[in-house]
Amino acid sequence: MVLKTIKEKIVSAFHLADEVMRGKAVETIEYEVGELDNIFAILVLGAFIGIPSPPIHITMELLPEMEKELGIMLEKVSTAHDPLGDLFSVLDID
C-alpha cells in the first residue's frame, strides 16, 4: 500500500516535471507566436490605431473572427513602453 502510494507520487512528480520542462521548452516559441499574432492583428486592424491597413472591407470581414487577436493587440499596448523588459523576462535574463 505504502509502496503503491510512493510509486504514484513518483509518477505524478515525473508528470509534473515533464509538463514543466515541456512548458519551458515552448516558452520562447509561444512568445514568438504571440508576437506574430500581434503583427497579424496590427496588419489587419491597423486602422484602429492609425497604421496603414488593407482595404477596409478585409478588416471588416476578418474582425468578427479576431476577438483573440484584438485582445492580444490591446494587451501588448500595456507592455509597449518596455518591449525589451518583456523579451528579457521570456528569455530569463535578469
Partner 1 sequence: MKPQLLFYIGKGGVGKSTTSAITAIHLSRNSRDILLVSMDPAHNQRDIFQKDFSEKTRQVTDCLAVKEVNVDYWIEKYLKDTEKTIKRTYSYESAFNLQNYFNVLQFSPGLEEYALLLAFENIIHTFEDKEVIIFDMAPTALALRFFSLPFITLIWLEELLKLREKIYAKKEIISEIKIGRKTIEQDKVKAKLAILIQEYGHLGDHFKSGATRINLVMNNDKLSFSEAFRIKKKLLDIGINIESILINKSQSKTIPDEVRNEFNHQKFGLFPFSSKNILGYQAMSEYLDENSEIFAELK
- Residues contributing to the site for partner 1 (CB under 8 A): 22-23, 25-26, 29-30, 32-33, 36-37, 39-40, 43-44, 47-48, 54-58, 60-67, 69-70
In whole angstroms, how close is the CB of 94 to partner 1 at the nearest point?
A: 25
Number of Cα atoms under 13 Å in the Cβ half of residue 69: 19
Cell digits for 67? 476577438
Q: For residue 28, which amino acid is it?
A: T
Find the shortest distance in angstroms from Cβ 20 to partner 1: 11
- CA–CA distance from 68 to each of 37, 38, 62, 92 (Å)? 9, 10, 12, 26
User: Closer to partner 1 at the Cβ: 92 or 94?
Assistant: 92
Kindly tell me which of 64 and 81 has the beta carbon lying closer to partner 1: 64
Read off the C-alpha cell for 83: 518591449
Question: Of 46 and 86, which has the nearer Cβ to partner 1?
Answer: 46
Q: CA-CA distance, 94 to 78, in Å (whole number)?
A: 21
Closest separation in Å from C-beta 74 to partner 1: 8
